[in-house]
Amino acid sequence: THFGYETVTEAEKRKRVAGVFTSVAESYDRMNDLMSFGWHRIWKDHFVSTLNPGFSPLSGSSPSGPQHILDIAGGTGDIAFRMLHHAHVVNANPSVRVTISDINRAMLSVGKARATTDLPASQQEALSFVEANAENLSQTRPLQPILSETEQTFFDPATATSGIPDASVDLYTVAFGIRNFSNIPAALREAHRVLKPGGVFACLEFSKADKWTSIFESLYKEWSFRAIPLIGQLVAGDRDSYQYLVESIERFPSQEEFRDMIVDAGFVVAGKGYEDLTGGVAAIHRGMKP
Ligand code: SAM
């Protein structure tokens, strides 16, 4: 299977991405650990603790008002659960609410089942699940149950019942999601629209490894291009989907190019606008809506 950017339309890409994540939903959490040697947990912990949700109100929210975090492409809940734990437990601020949103109902359903078993009731109450395409957040609907195995689990905008209002979000997060979007500038514009003035856009994504780590980089490439599809085949019985995942990492813009896209969408960035993790294998980008 080839997922080359140039040859597919946006709608086609969206459909393929939907297929990938429907087929990996059940094995996703296990595969993440294998593919990144467990690093993704460290990156996610770091992402959440540096954002420090619930510590003090972000500048856009009223001092006592609840903070609203929107976790886009939230999948099976890794970021949303960490945000809730950090805000409610570490910062003892139970007023923080998290909306976890994804285009794929199969991923969200795994997340919802995990939330039911892993989270205390108070955190479950502060969490809501929404189906949406990150490129158009004015069309959403609450998570629907999956009724049959053959059902289309990809969000169909024709079924939308609601939307995310302008200036309603304090913190927008997206982790390992944005490289899958067909139209990244559209998603950044939507992030800007839904954030309150003073609200923060934060993205954790695979990125370009530093040149000084060239030995490391070539080993990493060797590893990712050969081993990940093989592990995908052995563990999840699905080579093509994992092949797609490594190719999408390769195609994603560099740290600087992505920072410029964030600025073009109307955000202001501090310093160089990003932080490299593990020699640039992943990076965190942040922007504030003025
Ligand atoms: N954020 C989670 C994490 O860090 O574990 C999940 C990341 S998973 C690699 C990528 C997610 O992006 C999938 O759940 C997929 O369904 C979602 N996705 C892909 N395209 C999307 C789009 N256009 N809008 C919203 N979500 C999308």
Domains annotated for the chain, with CATH where assigned, are 10-288 (3.40.50.150)
This prediction has a pTM of: 0.90
CB of 177 within 6 A of ligand 1: the answer is: yes
- pLDDT given at position 193: 98
CB of 21 within 6 A of ligand 1: the answer is: yes
CB of 77 within 6 A of ligand 1: the answer is: no
Burial-class residue 53 by CB neighbours within 10 Å (0-12, 13-18, 19+): buried
Compute, in angstroms, the gap from residue 64 CA to the centroid of ligand 1.
32
Nearest residue to 142 (alpha-carbon basis) of 187, 109, 186: 109
Q: According to the per-residue pLDDT averaged within each range, which of 61-70, 155-164, 225-234 is highest? A: 155-164
- Return the half-sphere exposure (C-beta side, CA atoms, 13 A cut-off) of residue 218: 3
Which atom of ligand 1 is the closest one to the Cα of 133? Answer: 24
CB of 17 within 6 A of ligand 1: the answer is: yes
Which atom of ligand 1 is the closest one to the Cα of 73? Answer: 26
Q: What is the pLDDT of residues 242-290, one digit of tens each?
A: 888 888 888 899 999 999 999 999 999 999 999 999 888 899 999 999 9
Integer Cα distance of 40 and 20 in angstroms: 19
The answer to whether ipTM exceeds 0.95 is yes
- Residue 227: DSSP 8-state: I
Which atom of ligand 1 is the closest one to the Cα of 44? Answer: 4
Annotated binding site: 76, 102, 133-134
